[in-house]
Amino acid sequence: MQKITREVLIAKAEELLSNGTVSKVLGLKKGEFSYDQTPAVFTDIESMKKDFVFDDFSGANFSKYLIKETKKGEGKTLVFLKPCDTYSFNQLLTEHRFDREKVYVVGIACDGMVDIKKIKNAFGDGIVSVDATTDTLKVETLYDGVKEIAKAEVLAERCRNCKSKKHVAYDELIGEDGEVISSNRFDQVDELEKMTADERFAFWQNELSRCIRCNACRDVCPACTCEKCVFDNPNSGVQNKAAANSFEEQMFHIIRAFHVAGRCTDCGECSRVCPQQIPLHLLNRKFIKDINGFYGDYQAGEEVGNRAPLVNYTKEDLEPSEAVNKGDK
């Protein structure tokens, strides 16, 4: 597979900007360290050559940014989408969240992104830079010199069980298009389902009590696009962090996952941005697994215009009591 580099993307952007196809480019620029990157809009090629970055840490899903970006000014926005991002892109189009005509999508092949949190777990916090050009990462640490770690070990959680290397939406492709993969992404959900209710409760209490209610999972989610969110209601009593270190953020997490049930493409952004490393994708995947099991296989964002399972029904659907007993097995 062709490795996508910063230079390849800048060359493509230069071509599209100079021939007038697009008027701006949505991308990432360098933050304080090479591994913390910030979304940015580039309108000229000089600033792009200076600031634009793309490497194995550029995991951000850009689909959601298009909602606001396409509303600003005339002309098309250039966006580089990985295969998993294109599913979110289609899902947003299905929901009429932006104008397809105002976007120029360049699909880029992807061989998995790296999670900086996993590197930090391995080597501690003082990470100066990471060289991610080969399959063995060279990590320069503040106190321990240069360390090496295999890329496979620090792959982002969602890339570990990637569901598709196939782009479902694009105007142009760089690199070859892959295939849909029959992934093992429900394995962890299966394991949890096999536990007893008390064990599951203990597991989730341990995970969700760490939540600091920063709302990053909500803000980054390409399916969460309400302009006014139910959790911003100051009268709800639950808009902030619970005072005690208890399980009380569960409602937020159940509802967050429920609101995207049937529309979640399993892009894994929620887990990527969580500063507390809560495996939020396990909640979303439970809904996806249930929907597949109860109402037939459904992949959100596979095609524009597909009807989501929760706005649909058949007369023979199973009863809620049967649904719960299914999880018993």
Residue at 255: amino acid letter: I
212 near other proteins (CB under 8 A)? no
Considering only 32-40, 79-87, 163-171, 202-210, which stretch makes contact with other proteins by CB under 8 A? 202-210
Binding mask 236-265 for other proteins (x = CB under 8 A): -xx---xxx-xxx-xx--xx-xx--x----
Classify residue 152 by its DSSP letter: G
∠ Cα 120 27 1 (to 5°): 75
Cα→Cα distances 86→83, 108, 257, Å: 5, 10, 20
Query: Phi, psi (5° rounding) for residue 15?
Result: -60, -45
295-324 binders of other proteins (CB under 8 A): 295, 309-315, 317-324
CA distance 56 to 151: 10
213-232 binders of other proteins (CB under 8 A): 230
Which of 89, 204 has the CB closer to other proteins? 204
194 near other proteins (CB under 8 A)? no
Q: What is the smallest separation between the CB atom of 215 and other proteins, expressed in angstroms?
A: 16
Q: Which two tokens stand for residue 126?
A: 């003082």
**132: part of which helix (H) or strand (E)?**
none
154-193 binders of other proteins (CB under 8 A): 189, 192-193
Q: What is the smallest separation between the CB atom of 212 and other proteins, expressed in angstroms?
A: 15
Cα separation of the two ends of the chain:
41
Which of 37, 299 has the CB closer to other proteins? 299
Residue 72: exposure state from Cβ atoms within 10 A (0-12, 13-18, ≥19): exposed
Which of 151, 200 has the CB closer to other proteins? 200
CA distance 76 to 85: 18
233 near other proteins (CB under 8 A)? no
∠ Cα 268 34 135 (to 5°): 70
Which of 104, 287 has the CB closer to other proteins? 287
291 near other proteins (CB under 8 A)? yes
CA distance 295 to 290: 8
287 near other proteins (CB under 8 A)? yes
Query: Phi, psi (5° rounding) for residue 203?
Result: -60, -50
Residues in a beta bridge with 29: 38, 52
CA distance 42 to 58: 16
58 near other proteins (CB under 8 A)? no
Q: Which two tokens stand for residue 32?
A: 């304080």
Which of 65, 298 has the CB closer to other proteins? 298
For residue 261, which of 287, 225, 238, 230 has the smallest C-alpha distance?
Answer: 287
124-153 binders of other proteins (CB under 8 A): none
Which of 50, 194 has the CB closer to other proteins? 194
In the set 202, 214, 232, 275, which binds other proteins (CB under 8 A)? 202
Residues in a beta bridge with 116: none
- Asked whether 285 and 184 are in contact (CB, 8 A), the reply is no
Q: What is the smallest separation between the CB atom of 187 and other proteins, expressed in angstroms?
A: 15
Q: Which two tokens stand for residue 28?
A: 């990432």
Q: What is the smallest separation between the CB atom of 234 and other proteins, expressed in angstroms?
A: 13
Q: What is the smallest separation between the CB atom of 252 and other proteins, expressed in angstroms?
A: 10
Which of 41, 192 has the CB closer to other proteins? 192
Binding residues for other proteins, rule: CB under 8 A, are 189, 192-193, 197-205, 230, 237-238, 242-244, 246-248, 250-251, 254-255, 257-258, 261, 283, 286-287, 290-291, 294-295, 309-315, 317-324, 326-327
